[in-house]
A and B are shown apart, each in its own frame.
Chain A
């Protein structure tokens, strides 16, 4: 390799030049080799493993079993759709996701717009620093903190409630309150961080538009309504499409850490159900069938929403 120069002439490459090229590229292939092996083993092999959704896979048969187990077609899918818990799990997933979108989607946008309006430079910085912080705490930590704060008899919140003369509320154990806690703590944790994207987009807006508006005598609200918001509409629509595509996910980590059998009837979602039935109870084929259903529906939703936003002229994902 040493001493070889770039071959700049236009003549057709001779074999020795091709070999020299291979030598140069060879190093790149060597560098890429291990990463490619990584993706093959840890991402593509599991994709291959999806076929166990259509087979009767027995974990004890190991790797060979993925290919040698007998085909059962859509049996496990039918099991899922016909199962006692199907409608509950499906309905909960959609309901929680819709709540998250209705309350959680506008929140970072509004926050970004408000932060952008802060005059004092230092105050703005402090607000940003503090509001980004919960994003970096794991859900284990956040759920532990809220578990303590929302504790039924002596938690901080219930102490406040008692002081105000009310009855203590079992936030995490009552199916009337659980969803409210879920959605609001979800917002609490991520609203700051999610607003960064919108703040970045806002900072990219051409300032001359604001100057023109000022000459026309626009108020601040008019500025926001007619300039700021329309300028970030494309980012909003992209994020909206991704949120809708995500609708069957509903936040497994957070729910898993906060839920309990007491609230299964409102909190059990597809993923938590898959975890319990598919993984813990060793019904691997069944669990995989459920996951696959979810992925296919999610893909369909993304495509539909993409088409829909293009129709209303908000721009799509592709």
Chain B
């Protein structure tokens, strides 16, 4: 069963190897060094960005010099002093929370229907849904349709076009199918409606799958920026990612940070780097704890397909 294999994969190396050699060979040492360098390549850029944000310097040798003081005022400015940042943060958070909730709701609805054993027309619906994974209108026709639906400059464009991901719906459907029929039959005997069965039985029993899929949807919302760029006209409706990009690449809003209202003379670099760190903070903080759900989600999806 996939969930058990997930646990084995993450916690045990292939057992047979341990009995082959008792010492680490040269290969093992090189491997560990290689992994160390790999991790370093991931951590060092991040660390550099962090150091710039707290020391207000950009040259590496200045980070550790005696004259440099560590200060978090870049963060104070970014988070608390700038209305546009707070705005964008709220937009992104709202989008992630509301969007993910609706994603899950509708995905579960269609997954439940498609997981029923007998339903006239089920295969037609399934094929219709799967087809959307391979064919799509493309950027421009979608843009045109969305504009005609008055989704331009409208918060709904963050939620509606991506409401259900066919792939996630299929993963969810497979999970629902693995729930024993006896439970549902008992409920039907007791006169439960499908709505009841879905919300009181199937969903509570599918929490692991729902957790994983919610995470995929949530991360996708949090990281979205392209739809923000092409549909939004007012800057207050931009997501946090767009705000970040405009700040880093185009120096937008910079005046507010480093101008006369600033408490300490902060360099634009410190501001930019602090913004990057703040934007990544939710994901980096939440990620280690939820890693297992992400991995399980991928494996449920991949192995079943």
Q: Does A318 contact B (CB under 8 A)?
A: no
Query: Interface range on chain A: under 10, 10 to 19, 20 to 34, or 35 or more?
Result: 35 or more
B60 touches A211 (CB 8 A): no
Given A49-B144, A138-B225: A132 and B9 within 8 A (CB)? Answer: no
What's the least CB distance linking A8 to chain B, in Å?
11
Chain B's closest residue to A122 (CB) is B11
Give the residues from 1 to 35 in chain B that come closer than 8 angstroms, CB to CB, to chain A.
5-6, 8-20, 24-25, 27-28, 31-32, 34-35
Q: Please encode chain A, from 110 to 130, with 1 for each CB lying within 8 Å of some chain B CB and 0 for all others.
A: 010011111111011111111
- Specify which chain B residues have a CB less than 8 angstroms from the CB of A46 in the assembled complex: 136-138, 141-142, 144-145
> Of A3, A140, A148, which is within 8 A of B272 by CB?
A148
B280 touches A137 (CB 8 A): yes
A196 touches B299 (CB 8 A): yes
Q: Does B64 contact A (CB under 8 A)?
A: no
- Specify which chain A residues have a CB less than 8 angstroms from the CB of B39 in the assembled complex: 126-127, 130-131
What's the least CB distance linking B261 to chain A, in Å?
24
B291 touches A129 (CB 8 A): yes
Give the residues from 22 to 43 in chain A that come closer than 8 angstroms, CB to CB, to chain B.
24-25, 27-29, 31-32, 34-36, 38-39, 41-43
Give the residues from 129 to 173 in chain A that come closer than 8 angstroms, CB to CB, to chain B.
129-134, 136-141, 143-149, 154, 156, 159
Chain A's closest residue to B114 (CB) is A32
Stretch at the interface among A84-92, A98-106, A199-207, A303-311: A199-207
Q: Does B287 contact A (CB under 8 A)?
A: yes
Chain A's closest residue to B298 (CB) is A196
B223 touches A220 (CB 8 A): no
Q: Please encode chain B, from 208 to 229, with 1 for each CB lying within 8 Å of some chain A CB and 0 for all others.
A: 0000000000010011111000
Q: Does A257 contact B (CB under 8 A)?
A: yes
Q: Does B84 contact A (CB under 8 A)?
A: no
B9 touches A50 (CB 8 A): no
- Specify which chain A residues have a CB less than 8 angstroms from the CB of B34 in the assembled complex: 114
B145 touches A45 (CB 8 A): yes
A140 touches B241 (CB 8 A): yes
A119 touches B194 (CB 8 A): no
Given A31-B195, A130-B42, A132-B294: A207 and B185 within 8 A (CB)? Answer: no
Given A35-B106, A148-B272, A207-B15: A117 and B27 within 8 A (CB)? Answer: yes
- Interface SS, A side: helix
B35 touches A123 (CB 8 A): yes
Q: Does A12 contact B (CB under 8 A)?
A: no
CA distance A123 to B33 in the complex (A): 11
- Specify which chain B residues have a CB less than 8 angstroms from the CB of A133 in the assembled complex: 42, 284, 287
Q: Does A62 contact B (CB under 8 A)?
A: yes
- Specify which chain B residues have a CB less than 8 angstroms from the CB of A145 in the assembled complex: 45-46, 49, 276
Q: Does B279 contact A (CB under 8 A)?
A: yes
Q: Does B43 contact A (CB under 8 A)?
A: yes
Chain A's closest residue to B21 (CB) is A220
Query: Interface range on chain B: under 10, 10 to 19, 20 to 34, or 35 or more?
Result: 35 or more
CA distance A299 to B136 in the complex (A): 12
CA distance A111 to B37 in the complex (A): 13
Q: Does B135 contact A (CB under 8 A)?
A: yes
B139 touches A279 (CB 8 A): yes
A47 touches B195 (CB 8 A): no
- Specify which chain B residues have a CB less than 8 angstroms from the CB of A39 in the assembled complex: 128-129, 132, 164, 166
What's the least CB distance linking B225 to chain A, in Å?
5
A119 touches B28 (CB 8 A): yes
CA distance A24 to B196 in the complex (A): 13
A144 touches B276 (CB 8 A): yes
Q: Please encode chain A, from 40 to 72, with 1 for each CB lying within 8 Å of some chain B CB and 0 for all others.
A: 011111111110100000010011001000000
- Specify which chain B residues have a CB less than 8 angstroms from the CB of A146 in the assembled complex: 45
Q: Does B109 contact A (CB under 8 A)?
A: yes
A31 touches B112 (CB 8 A): yes
A279 touches B120 (CB 8 A): no
What's the least CB distance linking B218 to chain A, in Å?
10
CA distance A287 to B142 in the complex (A): 12
What's the least CB distance linking B206 to chain A, in Å?
16
B20 touches A214 (CB 8 A): yes
Give the residues from 278 to 300 in chain A that come closer than 8 angstroms, CB to CB, to chain B.
278-279, 284, 287-288, 291-292, 295
B303 touches A200 (CB 8 A): yes
A119 touches B13 (CB 8 A): yes
- Specify which chain A residues have a CB less than 8 angstroms from the CB of B222 in the assembled complex: 138
What's the least CB distance linking A190 to chain B, in Å?
12
Most interface-central of B10, B27, B230, B273 (chain A CB within 10 A): B10
Give 6 closest A-B pairs by Cβ, nearest first.
A46-B137, A49-B141, A138-B223, A291-B138, A35-B110, A46-B141
Q: Enumerate 13 A-B pairs (CB-CB under 8 Å) in ascending A order.
A: A6-B188, A38-B164, A41-B149, A111-B38, A118-B13, A137-B223, A140-B225, A140-B245, A141-B280, A145-B49, A159-B60, A200-B303, A203-B5
- Write the residues of chain A forming the contact surface with B, with a CB cutoff of 8 angstroms: 1-6, 24-25, 27-29, 31-32, 34-36, 38-39, 41-50, 52, 59, 62-63, 66, 111, 114-121, 123-134, 136-141, 143-149, 154, 156, 159, 188, 196-197, 199-200, 203-204, 207, 210-211, 214, 220, 253, 257, 271, 274-275, 278-279, 284, 287-288, 291-292, 295
